[in-house]
Copies of this chain bind each other. A is one copy, B any other.
Amino acid sequence: MLLTDRQVLILQVIVDDFIRSAQPIGSRSLSKKEEINFSSATIRNEMADLEDMGFIEKTHTSSGRIPSEKGYRFYVDHLLLPEKLNHTDMAAIKSIFAERIYELEKIVQKSAKILSEMTNYTSIVLGPAVKDNRLRKLQIVPLNKDTAIAIIVTDTGHVENRMFHFPTSVDPSDVEKMVNILNERLAGVPLTNLNSKIYKEIAVLLRHHISSYDTLLNTITDTLNMPANEKVFFGGKTNILSQPEFNDVEKIRSLMNMIEQEDGIYQLLRKNQAGINIKIGTENDNSAMENCSLITASYSMGQEKLGTIAILGPTRMEYSRVISLLQLISTDLSKVLTELYQNK
């Protein structure tokens, strides 16, 4: 059941060629390739075997072969040689970090944009998970007598804000006192732990100092309870539409629909491990992704995994190139983020 060297060679050439041309490959055109020194008849026999084993398939009875998902999987697992990136590519990636950008989100967004331009596929980036950030500062800015804005600044410079109403009975100076106490006690605490920490350790303290602390505290903890899912950024959303496999209106509709529905994308991306992940076609468990592959890479700050950067392309995508790009970009990104936020 193992593939012979010759079968592997044929499979490799088929996948490589199909990735380039998007056309089924026949035995005759295969036999003309440089790498291949045996006749088309031999190739036909080998192809029949490869097809029996499920690595390639026909589009109709007398057509040439195209790789199956299993074929791509084998290709990705065993035949992939990391592509040497050329100077233009390297330069493009370096350019992401050339400008001095300080906001984490902006860097991440720019990465997505450049990546999509370089590959002509669609790039997706899962922004840093805010909930793991630590509180730097909480501020309350009153807007009018019963409305105020709570602003949270995290250690990575992320700013979240939410408007809230409070009972007019609350004394403004109480609010100020409360914010001061909270800031003293909560600086450096991860956002996810804020509320539990408030109730466990600080509620008692507050009760001593503040008269109507009950309603106020409830309002504020409600407010702090932010959804704070990772944000999803896209680059080149429509790029994938120019791939020849998407010349069918129905396919475009279902894919675009999925892309627009951020939740689906989020589910698709979040379950990936650290490092490079490759999901081919139905491996994505999503009917709209049947003809698509998703390659993801994680980026991190120091030891901590921050987010995911991904390329969405047709199953017939340039795996080698995309993987090299993602690898480079994710390590660079991690390096820059670590320098920028970690050691200061």
Docked Cα-Cα span, A31 to B157, in Å, equals 69
Docked Cα-Cα span, A157 to B150, in Å, equals 10
Contact partner of A249 (CB less than 8 A), chosen from B161, B162, B164, B249, is B249
- Name which residue of chain B comes closest to A242, CB basis: B253
Among A103, A163, A344: residue with most chain B CB under 10 A: A163
Residues of B within 8 A of A237 (CB): 256, 260
Copies of this chain, complex-wide, total 2
Query: How many residues from A make CB contacts under 8 Å with B?
Result: 37
Interface positions of A (Cβ within 8 A of B): 100, 102-103, 136-137, 139, 141, 143-147, 149, 151, 153, 155, 157, 159, 161-165, 237-238, 241-242, 246-249, 252-253, 256-257, 260, 344
Docked Cα-Cα span, A153 to B161, in Å, equals 10
Do B241 and A252 touch (CB < 8 A)?
Answer: yes
Shortest CB-to-CB span from A256 to chain B, Å, is 5
Residues of B within 8 A of A256 (CB): 237-238, 241, 256
Contact partner of A102 (CB less than 8 A), chosen from B137, B165, B238, B248, is B165
Given known contacts A252-B249, A260-B238, A141 and B163 CB-to-CB distance under 8 angstroms: no
Docked Cα-Cα span, A189 to B344, in Å, equals 35
Docked Cα-Cα span, A165 to B157, in Å, equals 12
Given known contacts A238-B257, A253-B238, A163 and B157 CB-to-CB distance under 8 angstroms: yes
Shortest CB-to-CB span from A55 to chain B, Å, is 31
Do B145 and A102 touch (CB < 8 A)?
Answer: no
Shortest CB-to-CB span from A71 to chain B, Å, is 27
Do A136 and B141 touch (CB < 8 A)?
Answer: yes
Shortest CB-to-CB span from A123 to chain B, Å, is 13
- Name which residue of chain B comes closest to A343, CB basis: B144
Shortest CB-to-CB span from A19 to chain B, Å, is 22
Residues of B within 8 A of A162 (CB): 103
- Name which residue of chain B comes closest to A248, CB basis: B249
Docked Cα-Cα span, A212 to B294, in Å, equals 52
Docked Cα-Cα span, A237 to B256, in Å, equals 9
Residues of B within 8 A of A153 (CB): 141, 143, 149, 151
Do A137 and B141 touch (CB < 8 A)?
Answer: yes
Shortest CB-to-CB span from A291 to chain B, Å, is 15
Residues of B within 8 A of A141 (CB): 136-137, 139, 153
Contact partner of A252 (CB less than 8 A), chosen from B103, B139, B252, is B252
Contact partner of A344 (CB less than 8 A), chosen from B147, B159, B163, is B147
